[in-house]
Structure 1
Amino acid sequence: MLHKEILSVIAIVLTLTAFVPYIRAIFDGAIKPHVFSWVIWGATTFLIFLAQLEDKGGVGAWPIGVSGSITIFIACLAYIKRADVTITKTDWLFFVAALSSLPLWYLTSDPLWAVVSLTIVDVLGFGPTVRKAYYFPHSESLLFFGLFTVRNLLVMMALENHSVTTLLFPAIIAAVCVLLMMMIAYRRRVFASKASVDNGFL
């Protein structure tokens, strides 16, 4: 039990370690979060936290609760700072699809179906950020998503009850973070290669 609490505390520290410089970078204008993504992530992460508690996730759910609270703050910050106000039809599609999944939380008393629904919503929330990062790969932080990948792995180890309900969300989000980092790294190489070619002709 004690080792799970220690893992949970480490996961919370990693969460704060990722968020503090990310928030600072938003104020500095170096990072431009997409408001739609963060609204979706904030709502779903906090609801996942409640579902994990219901399924006796225990101390392993704490980092998710902390993350959900800070994510909601970043969503507000993204709106106030107008960090990324470019909203396309595709972004609206992701947003509407995400919201359409939320009623399942109220239609079932089984936390598993709530977690499945909310995990889908959260993954859909990556849509606008993926689109933005594809065209502007330097507008997101590889370190940030890397820390969250490690954080989610620690959350999985710290959970007091291992079930599909408690494990699904952190496992899927860790995988999505890895894929997003791979895409960002690839696009940065493409941009760097293009810049080198362009400079060669100058």
Structure 2
Amino acid sequence: MVKEWLSAVAIALTLAAFLPYIRSILRGAVRPHVFSWVIWGTTTFVVFLAQIEDRGGVGAWPIGISGSIAIFIALLAWWKRADITITATDWLFFIAAMSSLPFWYFTADPLWAVVVLTTVDVLGFGPTVRKAWHLPHSESLLFFGLFMARNVIAVAALENHSLTTVLFPAAIAVACFMLMAMVSYRRRVVGTACADVVGD
């Protein structure tokens, strides 16, 4: 029963993070990088399938819901023409994400797919980090904070704790924390630079 409640809380946090983020995209306040979201949506949903195969149970459901919504955000970012600059590195991340499926198929072990997908998903932060470094107000700290909390709770809700089920949500929680720290730092630097210019 506790696992079900933790999963429900993680799903609620997923929705609490995504709904305002989607509203912000529609208002033009947030400009997500389309390829980051294509990568995140694809990798997250495939990890959900791997967690289900490795008996992750109800703790996997927040990841599955998250993957589905992330794919929707990628489509929304494309439709709104938010940030559609796609570099050679972005293509490399995408190809690496797709390459995880043959790993899973040929090894018959979801762990290898999860290792590849986790690596690719963390690297998928690259385009967003690049954008947020230059435009630190273009991303939502609340969004990534809720996702960090969601992933920690999702780990606790897993019915089977193994490297296959835990690696992805734990790594993404750390990546969210690091992105938030970088954005906070850059906002302070940009704010100080603006104040210096006004002071002149």
Please tell me the TM-score bracket, short chain as reference: over 0.9
Structure-1 separation of matches of 2:190 and 2:94: 29
Secondary structure of the 1:79 match is helix
For normalisation by structure 2, the TM-score amounts to 0.96
Write out aligned runs for 1:34-73 (5 A). Answer: 34-73=33-72
The AA in structure 1 aligned to 2:173 is A
Alignment partner, residue 185 of structure 2: 186
Write out aligned runs for 1:109-148 (5 A). Answer: 109-148=108-147
Alignment partner, residue 75 of structure 1: 74
The AA in structure 2 aligned to 1:193 is T
Alignment partner, residue 170 of structure 1: 169
For normalisation by structure 1, the TM-score amounts to 0.95
Structure 1 residue 96, shift from structure 2 partner:
4.2
Structure 2: unaligned runs, 5 residues or longer: none
Structure-2 separation of matches of 1:91 and 1:117: 16
**Could you give the per-residue CA deviations for residues 142-190 of structure 1, whole angstroms, max 9, x where no partner exists?**
0000000000000010000011110000000000000000000000001
The AA in structure 1 aligned to 2:32 is P
The AA in structure 2 aligned to 1:177 is C
What is the RMSD of the two structures over their aligned residues, measured on CA atoms?
1.3
Structure 1: unaligned runs, 5 residues or longer: none
Q: Is the 8 A contact 1:57 1:162 kept in 2?
A: yes
Q: Is the 8 A contact 1:52 1:166 kept in 2?
A: yes
Identity of aligned residues (%): 69
Q: Is the 8 A contact 1:152 1:171 kept in 2?
A: yes
Secondary structure of the 2:160 match is coil
